[in-house]
Amino acid sequence: MRFAVAADHAGYALKEIVKQRLFEYGHEVVDYGTTSEQPCDYPDFGRPAAEAVARGNCNRAILVCGTGIGMSIVANKVPGVYAALCTSGVQAEYSRRHNNANVLVMAGWLTGRLLAEEILDRWLKAEFEGSRHSRRVGKIEGNGKQMTSG
């Protein structure tokens, strides 16, 4: 698979760990930056990576900033992107199985190497289950039957 990766300065070190793990698994990596821990703006890197997924240039993306919140917001503004901020392996696995997340977001300030590897490994191994989850994802996309409250 082909992965887009991107980070701001606060996520740079973790992005490099993620890249190495992806290479170890034999995946192709397209690095959208940043290239150092010099202060920068996360949208400058996260949006192009998310757009690469939306356009089909990359299968999925992994984004990292300090808390993961900024990258999540940026990525989820791109139509066709389902970005999930994951702080545990369980969240990562279920973001794929139930939500069909195509972008994984991690928090550079809060995620150590071992946890990052667990999150990434579980996200990579999980597959979308479809079924009732397809209906729910369809509602997000606006092509499923919408529930209304009374």
Tens digit of pLDDT for each residue in 54-87? Answer: 999 999 999 999 999 999 999 999 999 999 999 9
Instruction: For the domain covering 2-141, report its CATH number.
Output: 3.40.1400.10
Residues forming the active site: 65, 98
CA 68 to chain centre: 10
Q: Which two tokens stand for residue 122?
A: 């579980």
Which strand (E) or helix (H) includes residue 6? strand 2-7
pTM value is 0.90
The ranges assigned to domains in the chain are 2-141
Degrees to nearest 5, angle at CA 140 with 145 and 50: 155
